[in-house]
Structure 1
Amino acid sequence: MHRLFLGLRPPGAIRARLLSLMGGIPGARWQEDDQLHVTVRFIGAVDRPAAEDAVAAIDALRLPAAEAALCGTGAFDTRGRLNSVWAGLSPREPLERLHRKVDQALARMGLEPERRAYLPHITLARLNAPPEAAAAFLAAHAALASDPFAFDRLILFESRLGHGAARYEPVADWPLG
């Protein structure tokens, strides 16, 4: 089985900026440079034929250009416990449009459509902590902003779980715009 997702890599200067912010949350597992991405669509664990079908579905698409800027920080929680801290992106519309197009193509090939609302973001850290653990970090970086930047490729990643951080290996990619 292959654990797959489609994502976008921000340019090196943006990744460097995000890496410079990391720290100050006790127990956080900060992302490394090669982990910084925007998930466009999580596919999940699929066998090789389904992975090949996903590649064929994306091959058939004309992918729109996508540009965004860093815009604040936030956190996701589950039952009152923070599980990740992220950097936001704005405007959301170009990334949402790309997500919908990819999601529809994958649904046509037989994958379950995405059920969760799509919020484009770049995960900075994973954690299991009460909300107050990240309050100072989120307040300090609430005004995070950048000039707009373009994403140039949609990348199919295989996520390999193991000891320590997940490793994301590019499997295929497609130009945007």
Structure 2
Amino acid sequence: MPRLFTGIEIPRDIGFALSLKRGGLHGARWIEPNDYHITLRFIGDVDAPTANDIVDNLERLSKTVRFDLRLTQIDSFGGDKPRALYAAVEPSDGLNRLQAAHERVIQQAGIAPEGRKFVPHVTLARLRGASSDDVARFLSEAPVFEPLRFTPTQFVLYSSRDSVGGGPYVVEESFPLSAQT
């Protein structure tokens, strides 16, 4: 059974720029730049017929119009028990519409609704044993984050192996976004 999720790949140049933020934080397990992405919908472990239904449903979304995305800052999830560093994605109507469409078609394939609110981001590191003080110091001492912009040309269906997270991820299917407005 593959473990699946949908997302937007991060272009190589943006991934390289994000990779320069790596290092200097005890307890950080840094994600490889090739595995940077914005998750649209976690699906989980599914059987082959369900995976095929999901692919068929996602193909209907490939006419979605392209939109711009902007990464604005580095932050952390977890508060007093930090668990991840991430690059925040500026709110985007286009991204929100695409994510809502993913939610609908994945539920049509029989997958339960996502229980968490959609918070678009690019995970840069998983944290284990990093204190909130260490993370706050890392963030405060980091160079100024210059926003990074890109226009996704496709979304993808990823699979991952059963692990502690952070890849490697495999692109199972790609779905182009329309250049027409």
Same fold, TM-score > 0.5, yes or no: yes
Match of 1:71 in 2: 72
Which structure shows the bigger proportion of residues in strand conformation? 1
Structure 1: 5+ residue stretches without partners: none
Match of 2:19 in 1: 19
Match of 2:126 in 1: 126
Say if 1:40 and 1:136 are closer, same or farther in 2 by CA, change over 3 A.
same
Which sits farther off after the overlay, 161-170 or 149-158? 161-170
* CA contact 1:73–1:142 (8 Å) conserved in 2: no
Match of 2:153 in 1: 152
1:132 maps to a residue whose letter is: D
* CA contact 2:31–2:167 (8 Å) conserved in 1: no
Say if 1:172 and 1:135 are closer, same or farther in 2 by CA, change over 3 A.
same
Match of 2:113 in 1: 113
Q: Tell me the percent identity.
A: 33
Match of 1:52 in 2: 52
Shift of 1:93: 2.5
* CA contact 1:70–1:144 (8 Å) conserved in 2: no
Shift of 1:160: 1.2
Distance 2:26 2:88 in 1: 21
Q: Which secondary structure does the structure 2 equivalent of 1:63 belong to?
A: coil
* CA contact 1:72–1:142 (8 Å) conserved in 2: no
The CA deviation string for residues 64-112 of structure 1, in whole angstroms up to 9 with x for no partner, is 313111101211117x311100001113322221110111111122111
Q: Which secondary structure does the structure 2 equivalent of 1:82 belong to?
A: coil
Distance 2:142 2:96 in 1: 24
Distance 1:167 1:26 in 2: 22
Shift of 1:130: 2.4
User: Over aligned residue pairs, what C-alpha RMSD do you find?
Assistant: 1.9
Distance 1:165 1:148 in 2: 23
Which sits farther off after the overlay, 139-148 or 65-74? 139-148
Say if 1:50 and 1:175 are closer, same or farther in 2 by CA, change over 3 A.
same
Match of 2:175 in 1: 174
2:30 maps to a residue whose letter is: W
Q: Which secondary structure does the structure 1 equivalent of 2:145 belong to?
A: coil
Q: Aligned residues, how many?
A: 176
